[in-house]
């Protein structure tokens, strides 16, 4: 039987040859699946006779990434850039970010959005999918190939969607005004094969497989960056936002804390509090913003309380959680909902 990593490399080399004149964009989260995808594409690039000049590696920074992982990924991107410059690694990196008015705490504290749930998961679109879609649109995606680390065995839901979409390495992704080809190099890989690729393939040299493995003792899964039927919901643990209330328990953070990253504890406590606070009817308008029945945005008192707790968390951890630009935007938004409190200084 063929080694799954070798066949993924061979398949990818063929894909690169067929689409050598396209721009190749690789979605990167720093997690195991996108790391394996990148390594396989680089090995395939070496093998291919005709190939694109480089890969565009895109990383979407939500501004609320788990602190440990955020530091790891940003260092990783710096190291990849250095390797590209010194060793001619065919990679160009871009960090994407949602506009300030879309950021997590501006939505929650400024507009009063309830923290996301499975049935109202506004964050993935605002924080990850839209910034990536804008990048792709500007990159004339119609002629591009977007490589993603989706795998068939990741979840039953994923498997069903992939089957429905022809279960091929190639998929067509439609956005509202454009569409593009998606290539899935590790579609057939299971978790052990993903780790084989990460440990066995050398480039980029700057990615330390054992550092990544250490982080994965706690975290797993990756929140999607394109809106596609193949994309999974955030699972029971993931490389994602420390504020994520979509999952009932943040098992990634819990495991990271148990394995020694105790500095995450105050963040996890805040997240747990926010997930509970969302369900308090006294903290919410009695109607939705559009006037329909049902719990609406957070009241102004509730938003003030959330801000107070974020400020306390910033002080306790010595980290900036809400930037000054975001604070300015929150103050501007409060003018619409809170005339009496206008004088409050953010
Ligand atoms: S990790 Fe959670 S909070 Fe972050 S974008 Fe994904 S679903 Fe939303």
Class in CATH terms, 4-98+123-207: alpha beta
pLDDT value of residue 291: 86
Ligand 1 atom closest to the CA of 128, numbered from 1? 5
Q: How is the chain split into domains, by residue range? A: 4-98+123-207
| Closest ligand 1 atom, residue 233 Cα | 7
How many angstroms does the Cα of residue 239 sit away from the middle of ligand 1? Answer: 9
Mean pLDDT by 10 residues, the chain (346 residues): 90 97 93 94 97 96 89 94 96 96 97 93 90 87 87 67 67 85 94 94 93 73 57 54 90 84 95 96 92 92 97 96 96 81 49
| Residue 235: predicted pLDDT | 46
Q: Exposure of 302 by Cβ count < 10 A (0-12 exposed, 13-18 middle, 19+ buried)? A: buried
What is the CA angle 162-154-67, rounded to 5?
Answer: 125
The whole-angstrom distance between residue 103's C-alpha and the CA centroid of its chain comes to 13
Nearest CA to ligand 1 atom 5: 124
Q: Using CA positions, which residue lies closest to atom 2 of ligand 1?
A: 244
Burial of 202 per CB tally in 10 Å (0-12, 13-18, 19+): exposed
Q: Would you state the pLDDT for residue 44?
A: 98
């Amino acid at each position: 039987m063929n080694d799954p990593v070798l066949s993924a490399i061979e398949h990818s080399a063929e894909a690169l040859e067929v689409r050598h004149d396209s721009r190749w964009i690789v979605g990167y989260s720093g997690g195991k699946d996108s790391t394996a995808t990148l390594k396989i594409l680089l090995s395939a690039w070496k093998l291919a006779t005709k190939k694109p000049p480089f890969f565009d590696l895109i990383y979407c920074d939500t501004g609320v990434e788990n602190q440990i992982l955020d530091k790891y990924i940003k260092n990783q991107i710096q190291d990849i850039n250095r390797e590209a410059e010194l060793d001619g690694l065919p990679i160009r990196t871009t960090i994407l970010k949602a506009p300030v008015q879309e950021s997590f705490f501006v939505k929650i504290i400024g507009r009063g959005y309830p923290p996301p749930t499975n049935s109202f998961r506004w964050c993935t679109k605002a924080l990850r999918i839209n910034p990536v879609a804008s990048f792709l649109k500007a990159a004339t995606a119609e002629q591009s190939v977007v490589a993603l680390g989706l795998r068939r065995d990741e979840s039953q839901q994923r498997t069903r969607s992939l089957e429905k979409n022809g279960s091929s390495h190639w998929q067509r992704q439609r956005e509202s005004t454009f569409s593009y080809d998606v290539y899935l190099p590790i579609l057939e890989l299971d978790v052990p094969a993903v780790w084989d690729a990460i440990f066995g393939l050398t480039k980029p040299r700057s990615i330390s497989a054992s550092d990544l493995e250490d982080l994965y003792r706690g975290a797993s899964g990756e929140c999607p960056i394109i809106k596609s039927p193949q994309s999974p919901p955030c699972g029971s643990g993931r490389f994602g936002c420390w504020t994520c209330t979509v999952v009932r328990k943040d098992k990634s953070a819990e495991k990271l804390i148990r394995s020694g990253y105790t500095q995450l504890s105050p963040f996890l406590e805040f997240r747990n509090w926010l997930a509970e606070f969302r369900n308090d009817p006294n903290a919410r308008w009695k109607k939705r913003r559009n006037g329909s029945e049902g719990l609406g945005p957070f009241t102004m008192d509730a938003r003030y309380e959330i801000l107070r707790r974020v400020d306390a968390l910033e002080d306790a951890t010595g980290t900036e959680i809400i930037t000054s630009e975001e604070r300015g935007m929150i103050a501007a938004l409060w003018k619409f909902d809170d005339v009496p409190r206008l004088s409050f200084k953010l």
